[in-house]
Structure 1
């Protein structure tokens, strides 16, 4: 896996991702401390609103920003987004009201909604071999997991020698270093594309995404992953403190187990995906994840909480299954669009997957608060099972080359000339010549 870092462009972009993630991790810690300074016991409500604003920016703005940036140089788009995040991080130490937090978080997350899909769409243009791209996806998953594990430790060490306001400076430094790395990286030019009106650019990614069976399946599996893992992210702290009577160290151990499971899966996935199709890996993981969540809920309802070692083991398994669902996503997106359409499709994935979290997060919190921890697990597990069934139903296996006809095209159309006639087979993607997925060959 590490050998792909020998590719100079990818190595620099991966380093930019790592330092930006480290900065984001410091921001998460510092933002919690700032919210407590400003709101005291109501800090949880402040942070909840801030994270809701984050999701709204991701879901609502990413398609708009992606459409606006569709004709712009990709390096310029990435640098602009990073500089906006850098500027916001520098302003955060001077915040003195909750309203200012909300405004700055909206600006920062809007920049992230522009940066992330653009960044993700560049990688398959750099790593053109699927096995290299698969390793890059696993490496990216590892970077996210390491950020979750190491950022709290790094923040703790920095807080020994500075106030939490200094963490915002660390965040800004991460975004600035990311900017400099992108500046010195040779990026492939944006693929040539037709001059399309804004409305078409705005909806094109979602049209391709929702017209492609494997991407509809991906969305359903994303919902299954969000359903189960939202319980981990929202309710672990309550379960650890109230159920097991443990403090911050216990919470760190639980989230560490989850992260370790995710990292172990990311390390093993490249070899596994060489042997098994994506649908089997993702679908089997989604089924197992949903059953693990329902089983945990039934055990808690009828027996009580698991033993502490069993709980940590379960969280590691859930982390591994979660990683197995998410990591192959980029492979599906890469196969499902021409290079000119990939930024729009990655943007659609970014927005639609966060819709899943926008549903799952409140459901995890509401069901646990209004009902019980066991009820929350059962509700979320049932949602995960239903989503998995939908995923299998809408994602029917298809051959690499799909036989189809073009009765609507004239005989001299370039597409017919290139593929030898009106009826032909090739790797099928939704585009200007293929508006719907063929259902009868």
Structure 2
């Protein structure tokens, strides 16, 4: 607990954390309101829901590298505040949107702003806390996201009944304004990030983006650990990409769980994720990020496979709850690893490029999971996807060792 108290005494981190918590709760409120608004046309709800999901994912897929460059070339606080103000205006526009096309368009535009917010947010965190506090800070942020999920879906449903979709949109706009106000209070160096002026002023934006991508690739090539980490994350993301679709299908179709009961299942997962994040924050600093990553991947394989093999509501829910306990470990490991391996002036580009790769894997994996679930069943498909977790854990164990340790292992083997 002392580690968390020391974080909250850090004014910059406290403002950053409060801003994230406020806007995250508003986001989950918003998701319910959008579904409620579009459900007024039930005949096309499936199509509208698919378009909403695509609208939220496509901007990160397309704009990741550009957003990362912006996060490295402009003051990150300014990028985040501007993105929050834009999102506030767009979400407020949903109050007056009557046609589904307008709703989908505004959701897409808000996702574009979010695509610029996320790399700046991820790259900023290491500059707000000490290196040894990163695990605790990252874990607290993951726990807050899980809490926002529970509050947003639980409390949000009650608020939606009271004020309707338009009232929810107004509340969500207010949360973005509050987030922008909190972030504007951060006290950071006023100088532009290192490397921001490296390119000549007359260079075209496209040429600067190409140069940024080349620099990012050079950093990845020069750091074997970073390269192996990103490969391992990509493999793990493949396993994660089908999880939501397959678990929902498994519980509802294979186990015959009603939608209302499924809410309790996900609530157990979310509650366990909160507790797990607190535990990782309290003791995770004692574990190197490469061990955290490898163990978490193998742990996810074990719990996901166990849930499928149990094939019964209570034991399968128990395995899913256990899975929730470790759900923040990979994200925390990524944050700490990037802070250790990547220079500050290029972190935004690394996170932005990774967001693009991650979105591509998630979109592709979702589609494949849906097709295979219908053909061979959700349980078999989930166990196949879970093998990607195991492969990522094994890959990380053997490849994420420092050079000197790997060289010593090779010498012993020879």
TM band (smaller chain): 0.7 to 0.9
Task: Tell me the equivalent position of 1:113.
Answer: 115
Residue 12 of structure 1: CA displacement?
Answer: 0.8
5 Å-filtered alignment, 1:245-394, equals 245-297=256-308, 299=309, 305-306=311-312, 308-394=313-399
Task: Say if 2:172 is the partner of 1:167.
Answer: no
Residue 295 of structure 1: CA displacement?
Answer: 4.3
Structure 2 Cα separation of the partners of residues 206 and 260 of structure 1? 39
Task: Tell me the equivalent position of 1:156.
Answer: 157
5 Å-filtered alignment, 1:75-224, equals 75-127=77-129, 129-189=130-190, 190-193=192-195, 194-196=197-199, 197-209=208-220, 211-224=222-235
Say what the alpha-carbon RMSD is for the aligned residues.
2.4
Structure 2 Cα separation of the partners of residues 172 and 121 of structure 1? 25
Residue 378 of structure 1: CA displacement?
Answer: 2.4
Residue 117 of structure 1: CA displacement?
Answer: 1.1
Aligned partners of 1:286 and 1:321 also within 8 Å: no
Aligned partners of 2:71 and 2:119 also within 8 Å: no
Residue 55 of structure 1: CA displacement?
Answer: 1.9
Q: 1:26 aligns with which of 8, 25, 29?
A: 29
CA offset digits 1:188-229 (Å, max 9, x no partner) = 333332513332124433542465333333334434543444
Residue 394 of structure 1: CA displacement?
Answer: 4.2
| Aligned partner of residue 217 in structure 1, secondary structure | helix
Structure 1 Cα separation of the partners of residues 258 and 307 of structure 2? 22
Structure 2 Cα separation of the partners of residues 211 and 98 of structure 1? 48
Q: Kindly indicate which of the two structures has a greater share of residues assigned to helix.
A: 2
Question: Which moves more between the two structures, 363-372 or 66-75?
Answer: 66-75
TM-score, normalised via structure 1 length: 0.82
Task: Tell me the equivalent position of 1:236.
Answer: 247
Structure 2 Cα separation of the partners of residues 207 and 356 of structure 1? 23
CA offset digits 1:266-289 (Å, max 9, x no partner) = 112234433332212211221221
5 Å-filtered alignment, 1:46-85, equals 46-68=48-70, 70-85=72-87
Structure 2 Cα separation of the partners of residues 224 and 199 of structure 1? 26
Distance 1:112 1:223, change over 3 A: same
Structure 1 Cα separation of the partners of residues 320 and 36 of structure 2? 27
TM-score, normalised via structure 2 length: 0.87
Q: Count matched residues.
A: 393
Distance 1:37 1:235, change over 3 A: farther
| Aligned partner of residue 285 in structure 2, secondary structure | helix
| Aligned partner of residue 340 in structure 1, secondary structure | helix
Structure 2 Cα separation of the partners of residues 210 and 353 of structure 1? 19
| Aligned partner of residue 186 in structure 2, secondary structure | coil
CA offset digits 1:335-361 (Å, max 9, x no partner) = 112222222222233333333322322
CA offset digits 1:336-394 (Å, max 9, x no partner) = 12222222222233333333322322222222133311222122123333344444454
Higher-Rg structure is 1
Residue 291 of structure 1: CA displacement?
Answer: 3.4
Aligned partners of 1:224 and 1:286 also within 8 Å: no
Aligned partners of 1:229 and 1:318 also within 8 Å: no
Residue 239 of structure 1: CA displacement?
Answer: 3.3
* Uncovered stretches (5+) of structure 2, i.e. residues with no partner: 200-207, 408-414
